[in-house]
Amino acid sequence: MFDPGPFVYMDKIAVGPEAKGKVDIEAPIEYNLKAIANAKGSAVEDLTAIILDRPRHEEMIAEIRRCGARIRIIPDGDVAAALNTAWPESGIDVLLGIGGTPEGVLAACALRAMGGEIQGKLYAATMMNYAVVLKWGITSRRYLPWMI
């Protein structure tokens, strides 16, 4: 199984089959929302993003609102939230935000079976995590790439 070491958090974007291959975790939120809307043949204003209710997501929530998409804020459960993107009846079009790394791996396995997609980047939540990044020689950025 994937061993994230000390990186217990991951930045994620998950979508269902219609938007598979259309999103890019490195791209701005606005780009991804427009790509999802285009893939679904709808407007950004018709999309619903789901995101964990965490202070770290305040700027992301503001950006989603600025773009005009609806937001469903949840207290926990980002595995189920990611899977909802692959169920048309759920009304959820995209999962965004930082959540647990083990949960990201579980969601990736299920979404792959459902025809959806998740992209994630390990998140160095502390300076100690960041020191590990530098020690491993992976990158000098705050995020580390990981995609399924």
Which tens digits make up the pLDDT trace of 48-80?
Answer: 999 999 999 999 999 999 999 999 999 999 999
Quote the pLDDT of residue 46: 98
Class of domain 9-147: alpha beta
Which tens digits make up the pLDDT trace of 93-121?
Answer: 999 999 998 899 999 999 999 999 999 98
Spatial distance between the Cα atoms of 67 and 86, rounded to a whole number of angstroms: 22
Spatial distance between the Cα atoms of 12 and 52, rounded to a whole number of angstroms: 11
The ranges assigned to domains in the chain are 9-147
Q: What average pLDDT is seen over the chain?
A: 88
What are φ and ψ of residue 74, in 5° steps? -120, 150
